[in-house]
Structure 1
Amino acid sequence: MNPTAQVPAVVLRRPGVLFTVVRVFAGVLLLATGLSGLSVVLGFASLFPVAPVEFMHLMIGSGFLAPAKGMETVAGLLLLFNRYPRLALALEAPVALNVLLFHLCFDRANLWMGVVLLSLVAVLAWPHRQFYAGWLRQLLTR
């Protein structure tokens, strides 16, 4: 039996200009917000306004913010330079969901930020959905 017969054929087309613009925009956005969060962890002022300051202090004190913002920064760099975009999106999807939930629960005035970020991740992940299907199947059949 031919070992390549079991692997589904994947045809990747060259991304269009609009898709590239979305990828670069998402990369810049993630890089900026990730670096802003890391600056807060290091004790500097945030580059962007943060509404629920008490919650941010709780996240910093718990040690949650540093790895989350580190992943956001790495994902932003990977998307910006178009290196391992599937990995970048896999790292960013849970962070984007957390951003949406954060704004939904604590900062409804800026809920649009979470919606935009999660939408960008979804748009960028859609062409790669066949690569994420195996992960999702394993999670859903456990």
Structure 2
Amino acid sequence: MKIATIIVRVLIGALLLFASVSFFLKLFPTPELTGDLKTFNEGMAASGYLMNLVKSLELLCGLAFVSGFFVRLANLVLLPISVNIIMVHLCLDPANIGMGALVFLGNIFLIYRYWNDYKAIFKP
């Protein structure tokens, strides 16, 4: 189980690092969005949704996962981001759900793996 945890942690960390670094450095052209996903994206932009903040958090979580430091904290920070990713793809773009599902399932696996460390959060 320890080796599986390390593999999942490093893979998810590398994916988060790649996504955030490529966003900030504009390594790839932005794909043309269509339909409901385009409307959703325009609505987020109009509302002042801070994509830079989300990508910065992804970068920090990716660094935590790859380095092995603050992994438990990074799991909790990443959870709402991964839920948002999976829900957007489930509702608006199910054909491209692959990477979102990988991040979400990896996040859930790591939370399960470190569950004993989170038990204190739920004590009154």
The TM-score normalised by the length of structure 2 is: 0.79
Alignment correspondent of 1:123? 109
Task: Give the CA deviation at 1:113.
Answer: 2.3
Question: Where in structure 2 are the equivalents of 1:41-52 lying within 5 Å?
Answer: 44=26, 46=28, 49=31, 51=33, 52=37
1:19 aligns with 2:2: no
Question: How many residues are treated as equivalent by the alignment?
Answer: 120
Partner of 2:114: helix, strand, or coil?
A: helix
Structure with the greater alpha carbon radius of gyration: 1
Unmatched 5+ stretches in structure 1? 1-14
CA contact (8 A) 2:5 2:113 kept: no
RMSD: 2.5
Task: Report the counterpart of residue 109 of structure 1 in structure 2.
Answer: 95
85, 109, 116: which is aligned to 2:71?
Answer: 85
Identify if the C-alpha distance between structure 1 residues 111 and 37 changes in structure 2 by more than 3 Å, giving closer, same or farther. same
**Change in 2 beyond 3 A, CA 1:26/1:109:** same
Structure 2 residue runs without a partner (length 5+): none
2:117 partner SS: helix
Residues 132 and 73 (structure 1 numbering): CA distance in 2 closer, same or farther, change over 3 Å?
Answer: same
On the 8 A contact 1:100/1:115 being kept in 2, the answer is yes
Match of 2:44 in 1: 59
Other-structure match for 2:121: 135
| Structure possessing the higher relative contact order (Cα contacts under 8 Å, 6 or more residues apart) | 2
CA distance in 1 between counterparts of 2:67 and 2:80 reads 21
| Contact 1:31–1:73 under 8 Å retained in 2 | yes
